[in-house]
Amino acid sequence: MLEETRIAGSRSPTRIDQMVGEKIRELRTAQNFTLSELGQELGISHQQLQKYETGTNRLSAGMLAAVARVLRVPISELFLDSESAAKDKRDPVNEARARCHTLIDRTNSVAKLESMAKVLRALSSD
């Protein structure tokens, strides 16, 4: 268990805040989001997102929930460090599904979405 190293009453980031930020960056890059793209999805600037990722600023509970929703992971996954993640391997099917959802969610064109649907239907008829 990670220990909280902060003076009582202090609002400065802790090691856990840094770990959560590192995990967000890892998930963001794995899903091919840029800082600007994920920031836009979250309604924050890319500079603010970068501060979260580096652990300079702490994330609110609401922002944690928003990040988990956009990245399509349970909130608990944001608290897994690399060692824990290696022990608790993620399901490759769910990871692939999340990548597909990310692409679909980031598409605003009806024509492109219809094309994606046709391709997915064709692939699923095997």
Residues 123 and 48: their CA atoms lie apart, in Å, by 40
Residue 84, pLDDT score: 53
Domains of the chain: 12-89 (1.10.260.40), 91-126 (no CATH)
Q: pLDDT of the chain along its 126 residues, tens only?
A: 444 444 455 677 888 999 999 999 999 998 889 999 999 999 999 999 999 999 999 999 999 999 999 998 889 889 887 555 544 456 788 778 877 887 888 888 999 999 999 998 888 876
Contacts of 75 (CB under 8 A, 6+ apart): 64, 65, 68
